[in-house]
Amino acid sequence: MNSIIQFASKLIRGQAAGTDAVHKFHGGVHPDGQKQQSTSAPIRKLAIPEKLILPLRQHVGYIPKIKVQVGERVLKGQMLAEAEGTLSAAIHAPTSGTVTAIGEEIIPHPSGLPDMCITLAPDGLDEWTALHPVDWRNTDKKTLVANLRSSGIVGLGGATFPTHIKVRADGRTGIHTLVINAAECEPYITCDDMLMRERADEIVKGMEIVKFLLGAENCIVGIEDNKPEATSAMTEACKALPGTSVKVVPTLYPSGDARRLIHLVLGMEIPHDKRSTDVGVQVFNVATVLAIYRYFAYGEPAVDRIVTITGSVNSPQNFEVLFGTPLQALIDAADGTKPGTTHFIMGGPMMGFDLPTIDVPITKAANCIIAATPDLFAPPPPAMPCIRCARCADACPVNLQPQELYWFSKSDNFEKARDYNLFDCIECGCCTYVCPSNIPLVQYYRYAKSEIIAADKAKEAADLARERNEFRLARIEREKMERAQKHAERAAAGKAESAKTADAVKSDGVKAEATKTEEAQAAPAKPATETPVAATNADDAKKAAIAAAIERAKALKAASQSGESQKKPATADTADNSTPAQAAPSQATEQAEAGQTKVDQASAEQAKKDKQALIAAAIERAKAQKLAAAQAGIAPKNVENTSPFVKAEISEIDAIREKARQAVKAQDSDPEA
Amino acid sequence: MNRSPYITNAPTVSIIMLKVLLALIPGIFAYVWIYGGGILVTLSLATLTALVSEAALLKLRQRPIRPYLSDLSAVVTAWLLALALPPLAPWWLVVVGTLFAIVIAKQLYGGLGYNPFNPAMVGYAALLISFPIIMTKWPAPLLLAQTKLGFMDQLQFIFSNSLPANVKIDAVTSATPLDYLKTQLMLKHEVHGITQAPIFGHWGAKGGELVTAAYLLGGLYLLQQRIISWHLPTAFLGALAAMSLAFYTLDPAHFANPLFHLMSGASMLCAFFIITDPISGPTTPRGKLYFAAGVGILTYLIRVYGGYPDGVAFAVLLMNMCVPLIDAHTQPRVFGHIKN
């Protein structure tokens, strides 16, 4: 017993004291590396192929805007498509040539669906466009980041998150540590390994730039201990950059997952609902860092990457491949496939996917292509029932309970699946890897996630429709009340003034008030005691309406002080043609119309004064509305011709949509290397 | 379609079950040595019944027969039940118990992976309640018996319930130490005196403790092979030891020492082979500790205060009922879910 306690305390002390200690994460698996095949030969540059197919969607985010036309000659490095929106990346011509087509082609995506691509016929000259290296040390960070936006560089570890977003120097978060992801934990893939062996100096120069951009003091390179050559090359190169260290982490899949790597090298656990940047850490892949260096030092945008071609090919190795190169060219360069090759996998065997066809181009995400045979990747035997052995739970690097998630996903009990943190699953495949019953667990989680997301979207749409309907019903009800009230008032007034002639001052045609017919009724015997009815909908719209009403009332009061007639404005929205209330004209509107036809009996001078006051009030109101709209965050779009109620509705819906957009964005864009 | 991962490295269910069977071999050897070859007949009979009834039920349920028979889970259930029964149990008892375990406790609940209760223990409990006299009549270990039955005699006894002409039933059977201790304590004897009886060995039952030790050996093999996790045997044996130690310390005259409890009855079989059934047990590490400790505590209480000499079967079944609750309340902290 004593020895156990001693052993335990030694363990704890060892972790706390040693600065070089690696903080292991829960679970993980040890798949056979299969890396030696593709590391025997140095990186080779692949010749320019006959055509290049450049999908617009090679990154996470919005597709870029095409800047070229079919038939146009482009130079190497020329921007073909420009980043559009914040989360987007540009596409550049990987070599000089002619744009031969812009249209749909099959892209390397699990869906196998075609997507928009620019096809380029290289002219073989490989002529660069004018390049603009940047003296980054003496340039404003904002400018650098803006430059990076047009570099086309995305996370080359496979996540393809636009890089410029990760270095945004807005001073919002203080990044203290830059972690370089060189773990490369997936079997077969060796592109980062080879890159570090051969270009460690350039990588470190890139690290210097990223460190500068982020304002990070420390930089840690995390490398798995199955890459001794890369480790020594990086250790040597890192001597040139103070505050940098190389940390060797044990070979344990998925150590290359950003959150796992941060835990390994720093002992920090990133909260599940936060990003690493929230706690001052940013992760970059080695290849990305190198691309950044080349962009600033030579002005070269992202036009190529290192790709591992391995598996059932005759010469497995790494190539420097231009984006858009057809897969066939890469296979030919690797001396073709061995007999028995059935298909190709993009990525590693743990998280990769089957390429739908051989006719796909190499994209920014393509770190590895594996020629697959049934021998290498045997089709799984039929799944047996789960025996609850919990090996999956032991292997889960997130410490989830995969057997429970499987149970809930299988029975479509999605709420429970969510409760058991389904969305923390990183789909690393460790659970499937260790399952004795051969259950394709990850597929169940992918299914459950997509179902939940789809249901959430449907619910959001339904909520929106329901809210709109509620608005509509409330408005109909309110208008009915208003009409009834007006009718009653009018009847009372009519009785009291049967002898007198009613004055009706009508004003219309005010520029900013085109939306509304303002009815000003003269009620000399009865001073206006009521404030105008305000919109009761969205807060901002309500505020706007109230402010406008007060302004209006003030103006009217001022105007009426000189004259004997007091004006009582009423907000009857007659412009909203979509409401059923309008379709069925009521007594009140009929009366209003009748009022319009009445001869204005007030003196011309008085009428003019009234009109001026009303114009002033209308202008005030428009201003107030505009202000409220600005506060609500909606641009004054094409809503001028609608009533305040519709405006309120629109602003409310916009707010909801914006919220939903934010939520979706937050989920989609996890900027991890 | 995204169907990664493409590679797996896991022992199949069949391999896991095979290793469990392998781990039982030392125990079976010891059993044969102590009680004679009759247990082999019981084991065969149970295995045959299990396979036939499983196949029949799979056919009735229109499930594929071959993959489910070859997973060996029915054989494991049969062996565990057979080893829990008295060594010279009549053939029909073995058949009825196995049928109950496979048909009622396993297949009617949905087969492999869906049974909430340990099938072997359900079968055992059903027999214990239905046939209490036969179930508690154990043959004396060979080295103690006045008359030693040969293999053929045992075979004859199992199938026709008849003994050789000159042998009386009392000559070949005796109470188990747990049973004997219980009855003697009721007769106001003290533990120290009771354990002087010849049926007691160094720690537990004379002879029986060897079988128990062999189970422990098999259990250590399963631990080494990572077929079972350390949580279950540790918590079970720990709880059983803690309970017996507490009572023993308070009143050594009326409560047996912890070692006796650990080495008697089905303690080791339970610790390494019965509560380690993953299907009817909890899945979380903490849940496993609670579950096994619960079985340990209940086993002790039933042994000391209950109506049966050993309490393993009922303790396991009672704790099986708590598994969903235990699992729900022992979910481990997910990475990144930091409590403040």
DSSP string, B95-150: HHHHHIIIIIIIGGGTSTTT-SS-HHHHHHHHHHHH-HHHHT-EEPPTTT-SS---
Q: Distance from A203 to chain B by nearest Cα, in Å?
A: 30
The minimum CA-CA distance between A669 and chain B, rounded to whole Å, is 18
Percent of chain A whose pLDDT exceeds 70: 74
Q: Which residue of A has its CA nearest to B8?
A: A433
Pick the residue of B1, B3, B14, B61 with the most A CBs within 10 A to test the interface with A by mutation. Answer: B3
Is residue B98 within 8 Å of residue B78, measured between CB atoms? yes
Strand order in A518-522's β-sheet?
Answer: A504-507, A518-522, A567-570
How far, in Å, CA of A150 to CA of A82, rounded?
Answer: 7
Any A CB within 8 A of B213 CB: no
A140-148: average pLDDT? 86
Interval A25-34 mean pLDDT: 93
Best of B8, B73, B107, B323 to disrupt the A interface (most A CBs within 10 Å) is B8
Interface of B with A in 14-43 (CB under 8 A): 15-16
Buried b or exposed e, range B166-187, using 16+ CB within 10 angstroms: ebeeebbbbbbbbbbbbebbee
Question: With an 8 Å Cβ cutoff, is B11 touching chain A?
Answer: yes
Looking at this protein, which amino acid is placed at residue A62?
Y
Q: Which residue of A has its CA nearest to B329?
A: A420
Closest approach of chain A CAs to the CA of B8, in angstroms? 4
pLDDT grade for A530, boundaries at 50, 70 and 90: very low
* Residue A286 Cα, gap to closest chain B Cα (Å): 24
ipTM of the shown complex: 0.90
Note whether B6 contacts A443, CB cutoff 8 Å: no
How many angstroms separate the CA of residue B4 from the nearest CA in chain A? 5
Question: Of all helices (H) and strands (E), which one includes residue A204?
Answer: helix A191-214
Q: Which residue has tokens 């009234």?
A: A610
Task: Flag whether residue B4 sits within 8 Å of chain A, measured between CB atoms.
Answer: yes
The pLDDT of residue A157:
86
pLDDT at B130: 94
Instruction: Locate the domains of chain B by residue range.
Output: 11-174, 177-327
The residue whose two tokens read 């997507």 is A115
Instruction: Write down the pLDDT at residue B181.
Output: 85
User: B217 or A545: whose pLDDT is higher?
Assistant: B217
Is A352's CB within 8 Å of B6's CB?
A: yes
Q: Which residues of chain B make contact with A440, given a CB cutoff of 8 A? A: 3
Q: Nearest CA to CA, how far is A670 from chain B (Å)?
A: 15
Please compute the mean of the pLDDT values over residues A409-418 and round it to a whole number.
93
**CATH numbers and ranges of domains, chain A:** 21-372 (3.40.50.11540), 384-499 (no CATH), 503-643 (no CATH)
pLDDT(A254) > 50: yes
Query: What are the phi and psi torsion angles at A144 (to 5°)?
Result: -60, -45
For A48, phi and psi rounded to 5 degrees? -65, 125
Partners of residue A353 in chain B, C-beta under 8 Å: 1-4
Q: DSSP character for A600?
A: P
Q: Is B209 on the interface with A (CB under 8 A)?
A: no
pLDDT at A535: 39
Does the pLDDT at position A142 exceed 90? Answer: no
Q: Name the residue among B1, B10, B335 with its Cβ closest to that of A435.
A: B10
Could you report the per-residue pLDDT of A289-320, keeping only the tens digit for each?
A: 999 999 999 999 999 999 999 999 999 999 99
Amino acid at residue number A634: I
Q: Which residue of chain B has the CA closest to A399?
A: B334
Chain A residue closest to B288 (CA)? Answer: A390
Tokens coding A486: 């007006």
Q: What is the pLDDT of residues A564-574, one digit of tens each?
A: 444 444 444 43
Q: Does B7 touch chain A (CB under 8 A)?
A: yes
**Chain B residue with Cα closest to A379:** B6
Residue in chain A nearest B110 by alpha carbon: A385
Of A11-15, A510-514, B30-34, B146-150, least confident by mean pLDDT is A510-514
Of B4, B11, B336, the CB nearest to A353: B4
* pLDDT at site B231: 95
CB distance A323 to A54 below 8 Å: yes
- Residue A415: what residue type? E
Res A549 pLDDT > 80: no
pLDDT tens across B281-295, in order?
A: 999 999 999 999 999
Cβ A226 vs Cβ A196: under 8 Å: no
A181-218 tens-digit pLDDT: 999 999 999 999 999 999 999 999 999 999 998 888 89
Least CB–CB distance from B13: residue in A393, A424, A437:
A437
Per-residue confidence at A624, pLDDT binned at 50, 70, 90? Answer: low
Nearest CA in chain A to B277: A389
Question: Which of A113, A386, A389 should be substituted to probe chain B, the one whose Cβ sees the most B Cβ atoms within 10 Å?
Answer: A389
Nearest CB neighbour to A443, from listed B3, B8, B332? B3
pLDDT value, residue A545: 66
Residues of B in contact with A424 (CB under 8 A): 334-337
Looking at residue B230, its pLDDT comes to 95
Closest CA to A298 of A76, A126, A94, A131: A131
Structure pTM?
0.77
- pLDDT tens-digit map of A81-94: 999 888 899 999 99
Closest CB to A442: pick one of B5, B12, B281: B5
Q: What is the pLDDT of residue A269?
A: 92
Interchain proximity A388–B338, CB inside 8 Å = no
Chain B positions in Cβ-Cβ contact with residue A429 (cut-off 8 Å): 4-5
- Per CB-CB distance under 8 Å, the chain B contacts of A400 are 334
Please work out, in degrees rounded to the nearest 5, the angle formed at the alpha carbon of residue A169 by the alpha carbons of A167 and A172. Answer: 110
Q: How far does the CA of residue A478 sit from the closest CA of chain B (Å)?
A: 48
**pLDDT score at A578:** 42
Best probe of the B interface among A273, A387, A442, by most B CBs < 10 A, is A387
Q: Given a cut of 50, is residue A576 above it in pLDDT?
A: no
Q: What average pLDDT does the structure give for chain A?
A: 81
Q: Using a CB-CB distance cutoff of 8 angstroms, which residues of chain A are in contact with residue B279?
A: 387-388
Helix (H, G, I), strand (E, B) or coil at A180: strand
User: At A645, is the pLDDT very low, low, confident or very high (cuts 50, 70, 90)?
Assistant: low
What average pLDDT does range A462-471 have in this prediction?
92
Residue B114: which of A273, A349, A385 has the nearest Cβ?
A385
Q: In chain A, which residues have their Cβ closer than 8 Å to the Cβ of B16? A: 387, 389, 436
What's the pLDDT at B213? Answer: 93
Whether residues A424 and B334 touch (CB distance < 8 A) is answered with yes
Q: Mean pLDDT throughout A464-471? A: 92
Please check the confidence at residue A17 and state whether its pLDDT lies above 70. Answer: no
**B12–A424 C-beta distance less than 8 A:** no
Could you write out the DSSP letters of every residue in A275-314? -GGGGTEEEEEHHHHHHHHHHHHH---S-EEEEEEEESBS
Q: How many CB pairs under 8 A join A and B?
A: 142
Chain A environment of B331 (Cβ under 8 Å): 401, 420
A577 pLDDT higher than 80: no
pLDDT in tens, chain B (340 residues): 678 899 998 899 999 999 999 999 999 999 998 888 889 999 999 999 999 999 999 999 999 998 899 999 999 999 999 999 988 889 999 999 999 999 999 999 999 999 999 999 999 999 999 998 888 877 777 766 666 777 888 888 888 877 777 777 666 677 788 888 888 888 888 888 888 887 887 777 777 889 999 999 999 999 999 999 999 999 999 999 999 999 999 998 889 899 999 998 899 999 999 999 999 999 999 999 999 999 999 999 999 998 888 889 999 999 999 999 999 999 999 999 987 6
| pLDDT the model gives residue B339 | 77
Q: Is B279's CB within 8 Å of A388's CB? A: yes
A269·B331 Cβ contact <8 A? no
Among the listed residues A220, A229, A269, the one whose alpha carbon sits nearest the alpha carbon of residue A247? A220
What tokens appear for A371 in the block? 């020629």
